[in-house]
Amino acid sequence: MNFRSVLSFSEEDKIGTIQPHDDALLITLRIGDYDVNRVMVDGGSAAEVMYPDLYKGLGLKLEDLMPYNSPLISFDGKLVIAKGMIRLPIQTGPEIVEVNFIVVDTYSPYTAIVDKPWLHTLGAVASSLHQKMKFPPGDQVLEICGCQPMARQCVVAAVSHRLNAESSASTEKNL
């Protein structure tokens, strides 16, 4: 008999979350040899992205990167030029998936974004509503819980950064 794991979410999966909400799903992942906080799970995109905090924190240098020439559009609709791409392992429980991160040099309250390629390779299902991600290694179902308070802090940081940038731009125009 072939046992197939069923990945689903129920009302019980919401226990411990603040409802209702529209918070992003932020998790901690083992990337390379480090536990990395503030990783956003975004099932609506097709690229894994690494931001400066993680790039610098991992001790990466420009010569570690492979060329990557496709432009990206940031959350605020601006064009972002990638510094390059790097392949790193993400360990999730017993599973290790090699991921191509596009490295960008732009502000983000997140350290990285993982998307459909990683989720699909892992066979994972993510739910921001339930603040969880579930995946089926072997004949079991494992879950990773999100950090809703951190997601809310990231929204505050992003808004504050945008307001500071707008204020700086306004001050420069008046000089």
Q: What is the pTM of this model?
A: 0.87
Coil, helix or strand for 127? strand
Residue type for 24, please? A
Give residue-wise pLDDT tens across range 15-27. 999 999 999 999 9
Domain extent at residue 22: 17-174
Q: What is the Cα–Cα distance from 158 to 166, expressed in whole angstroms? A: 12
Residue 3 lies in a domain: no
Burial string for 31-55 (b: 16+ CB within 10 Å, else e) reads beeeebbbbbbbbeeebbbbbebbb
Residues, the chain, total?
Answer: 175
Give residue-wise pLDDT tens across range 137-163. 888 899 999 999 999 999 899 888 888
Give the CATH number for residue 152. Answer: 2.40.70.10
Residue 11 lies in a domain: no
